[in-house]
Every structure is written in structure tokens, then in C-alpha cells.
Amino acid sequence: MTSLAIELTEINKNFGEVCANKNVSLKIESGTIHGIIGENGAGKSTLMSILYGFYQADSGEIAVKEKPTVIRSAHDAILAGIGMVHQHFMLIDTFTVLENVVLGTETGFSLKESMQASARELRRIEKDYHLEVDINAVINTLPVGLQQRVEILKALYRGAEILILDEPTGVLTPQEADHLFRILDELREQGKTVIFITHKLREIMAITDNVSVMRQGEMVAHRSTSQTNREELAELMVGRKVLLRVEKAPAKTGRMELKVEHLNVTDDSGVHRVKDVCFEVHSGEIVGIAGVSGNGQSELMDVITGIKPLQNGQIQINDETITPALSADAAAMRRFGMAHVPEDRQRRGLVTSFSANENIILGYHKDPAYNGFIEMDRNAIIQSCKKQMKHFDVRPGNPFLRTSLFSGGNQQKLVVARELERDPSLLVVGQPTRGVDIGAIEFIHRQIIAMRDAGKAVLLISVELDEILSLSDRILVMFDGQIMGEILAKDANEREIGLLMAGVRKEAA
């Protein structure tokens, strides 16, 4: 029989009245890659935080390598042979690889001797697991894929036999993700156990041996990966059938709605974030901008939508021309026919302490439909909110509920409803499904396609390559603030886009 690396039995965890984990049981076989999937709020991260000692369960038992184990802290987890690679890396940017790996584990009378011994051990681990990286390199000089490799080295250096990876590909190009999978294969071959948390079903199917599905705090299914498929897993996650593939007819393009010419952006620190960017978006098409997060996409969108002033270059929207001398703010952009779904719904799209009906008019509060002779027409606002909540399937459909009490997916639907109901000629949408459940993703994607089919122009900015490939008619790829290339979506493939995302132009590739 296969031995068990981890066994969780009847784990329960409550935060006040919220039940995060309810009677969760899980068995993970040694020497396998075990995937855990579920919608946001399903309880995956809470469960792994209990296993790694960040939280303690209210009740239940943990066994590590078939021995009952009490884990009260991350230190206890490390002693039990458990390591964790977090979605946001826990590295000190100004330290070297070696300094980051050994930090907190120094031994011996002399720090110099300790570091020399640590360097020898680290080089051995690198060789054994094919995790080569320059141990004297400073972290902030390394690409993100190598920084993640350092996190894995840290865990292995501390003796981890069981490795938890939380959304490990969120900041990687496709090529970097493929390389990570090869590393995980090597770890499995060497007898390590990997727990792989992700929302990407394609990755689950590609890399795992077994998969467990969580829904609303409970464990609802365990499957051998070879005996399931993406459609079944999606249905188990949501509790109903989900359309994973976006169905859309060929684009019927019309007039130019947006033209960006030689746009440059320098941030407050004097860093050149956007470099001579030029492109057009026409009615009846979706233009997607792909790229790893942090390559100028956010700064580009801030200038296009009027959140930040235009410093250099020119923007044409419909028949209006915007220059540094004739700048336009976000309100002016709305008047010119632009709607904007921002990247961060809580910081840019909503005031979470406001009710749903107050949020549904943000930016449009001067609309005559919402205003009487002296005061705002509260009844008109509430009725409009009810209508939009019904149309966009916002749950619960309560216009008086504080927005912070809605799930992430329903918060996003509120923002999408507010912007799309204005019938804009141009929709600029950033990370439309970030932190959104798979059922809401399906709905939001359909709304974006419907906008295109209604003859609107859509500029889509997303770090989710699957989303870019599914929705876009044309794809632009950004790296280090520049447009590296343009590809028709029907001709695109992950390898070509991945190379551009890594800074390799088509001609060089």
C-alpha cells in the first residue's frame, strides 16, 4: 500500500459566524503531486494555513507521515518536514540568494564558516533537484521565475519532504510555468510530496496525480486526475455545469474608437514604465494586452482612462484628441464614451462601506435620471440598482446591502453592471475575472463578448493568458513597458506569446 504523507481528519475552523472549514478530511499519498481546487472562499487557503501552522483548527486531527502531529506554528510545520511557497514571495529583495535561504537557520560560532557550509549544502540541493541559480545574485536582479526557484530551495534547505505551493503560476510566463512543472516532476521522482493549489483547471490536468475539490468550506470530491476532466471538476467546484470555452463568432470591425500614439509614462520615482506605445482599437473587436504583471499594463490603463494625466504622446477616442496640453480626466473620458472596469475593484471600482445602490451610481451620480430638482432621486437609484442586479445576476439582489458583504465575484458583477449599462462605445477592462469564481467568470466573459457583438470596442488587459486567448480578436504583448508584438488570436499559440512575454521578439525567436 502507498504510505500517506498527510492525513487531515474532520478539520473544522470558524472565524466568528463564518465557517471556513467544515468537517474536512483529506489524504495525500507520499511521492505524489496532489491538487486542491475550489472557488474563492471555498476554504483551500484556510486548510493549508492550518497545515502550515498559521491557524489552529477548532477541532480535528493532523497526521504527518502517518504519525499524529500538533502544528501550532510555521516552525512546527518545518520541523515536521512541511514547506510552503507562498503566492507572494517571502524574500528580502536586497539580500543574495544564499542570504535569503539561510536566514534564520545560521549555525556555529562563526557566521562566515556557517555561510560557507550553507553554500556547499545549497549547491548540493541545486544539483540534486536541478534548481540551479547563482547563489550570490541579489534577489531584485533575478526574474520572477528564478525568485520562485529560490523559495523552493529555501523549503528544501530546511528539510521539507512535503511542499505546499499556493497559486504558483500566477506571476509566471507559460515557459516559466512549464519549467516549474519540470521541477515538480523532478521533486516527485525524488520522493517529495507536492500539494498544488490553483484555480487553473488546465494545470491540474497537466501536473497532478490526484485532485481534491472544495466547495463552501467542505471537501466535496476526490479524484484520480487520470479519471476526471476539466468539465467535471468545474461542475464539482460550482455545483452546476459550467461552459469553460467562450463561444464567439468572427469579429466584424468598424470605425476606430481608440488610437494611442507614442505614449510614454514615467512614474513618481522617475522610472520609465511605458515606452512609445502605439495601437488602435476598432468597434466590433476585442484587443487583448497580454503580459506578466508589472510590465507597464497598469500604468498604460491609468493614462488611457484618465486616472493619471497624459505626459507624452497622444490619445484619440472617438472624435476627441487628448494631448499633454489638452488632457482629460476620468469624468471627461466617460463623457467621450468610455467605460472602465478597473483592475482592482476594491481600491478603484467600489467604496466597500457604501451600499450596492450607492456604488451602482459612482462616477454617474450627475446623471439626470438620478437627480431631482434639488435632491437626488433615491427611488430612481434603488430601482435602477435592482434592475442592474437582476440583469447581471448579482447575489443577493439586495440594493441596501453593504458592498463589503458581497463575495468577490458579485462585487465584480456590480462594477461590470455599472459600466456596461451605460452603453459605452469603448470598454476598457482590466483583469475582469481576478479573484472571481469560475461561475462568475463564465458570466462576465459572456457580457464582454456581447459588448463586442453589439458593435462596441473592447480593450482587455489581463495577466490570465487563457482569458486573453479566449476573448481577444487581436493580441498585443507587453514586456518592460513596450509592445513586443501583435498577433491575430486565431493564429496565436501559448509558446509564441510566452516568448514575447519574456521579451523575445518574433524575429529573434
pLDDT in tens, 146-180: 888 899 999 999 989 999 998 888 767 777 888 88
Report CA 155 to chain centroid distance, whole Å.
24
Closest by CA to 225, choosing from 246, 267, 196, 266, is 196
Specify the range with the lowest mean pLDDT, choosing from 15-24, 382-391, 417-426: 15-24
Going from the C-alpha of 366 to that of each of 199, 350, 383, the distances in angstroms are 40, 17, 17
Domain with CATH 3.40.50.300 in the chain: 4-238, 245-337+424-509
Prior bond of 368 cis (ω within 30°): no
State yes or no: pLDDT of 402 exceeds 70: yes
Q: Under 8 Å CB-to-CB from 417, ≥6 apart: which residues?
A: 360, 388, 389, 391, 392, 394
Amino acid 406: pLDDT: 84
* CATH for the 4-238 domain, from 3.30.160.60, 3.50.50.60, 1.10.10.60, 3.40.50.300: 3.40.50.300
Pairing mode, strands 338-341 and 426-430: parallel
Distance separating alpha carbons of residues 346 and 353, to the nearest angstrom: 10
Band (pLDDT 50/70/90 cuts) for residue 316 is: very high
The C-alpha cell at 284 is 466590433
Distance separating alpha carbons of residues 296 and 135, to the nearest angstrom: 29
Distance separating alpha carbons of residues 430 and 171, to the nearest angstrom: 16
Question: Which CATH superfamily includes the segment(s) 245-337+424-509?
Answer: P-loop containing nucleotide triphosphate hydrolases (3.40.50.300)
Q: Residue 96 pairs with which residues in a beta bridge? A: 138
The position carrying cell 489552529 is 56
Biggest CA-to-CA distance, the chain:
80
Average of per-residue pLDDT values in the chain: 90
pLDDT tens digit sequence for 254-266: 999 999 999 999 9
State yes or no: pLDDT of 508 exceeds 60: no
The C-alpha cell at 423 is 452603453
The mean pLDDT value for 104-121 works out to 75
Amino acid 15: pLDDT: 85
State yes or no: pLDDT of 38 exceeds 90: no
Distance separating alpha carbons of residues 57 and 46, to the nearest angstrom: 9
State yes or no: pLDDT of 495 exceeds 70: yes
State yes or no: pLDDT of 45 exceeds 70: yes
Confidence (pTM): 0.76
Pairing mode, strands 320-322 and 312-317: antiparallel
Report CA 440 to chain centroid distance, whole Å.
15
Q: What percent of the chain has pLDDT over 70?
A: 97
Q: Residue 474 pairs with which residues in a beta bridge? A: 287, 488
Band (pLDDT 50/70/90 cuts) for residue 192 is: very high
- Residue of higher predicted confidence among 446 and 373: 446
Amino acid 89: pLDDT: 80
Report CA 403 to chain centroid distance, whole Å.
21
The CA-CA-CA angle for residues 97, 133, 114, to 5°, reads 45
3-state secondary structure 121-185: HHHHHHHHHCCCCCCCCEHHHCCHHHHHHHHHHHHHHCCCCEEEEECCCCCCCHHHHHHHHHHHH
pLDDT tens digit sequence for 200-220: 888 899 999 999 999 989 999
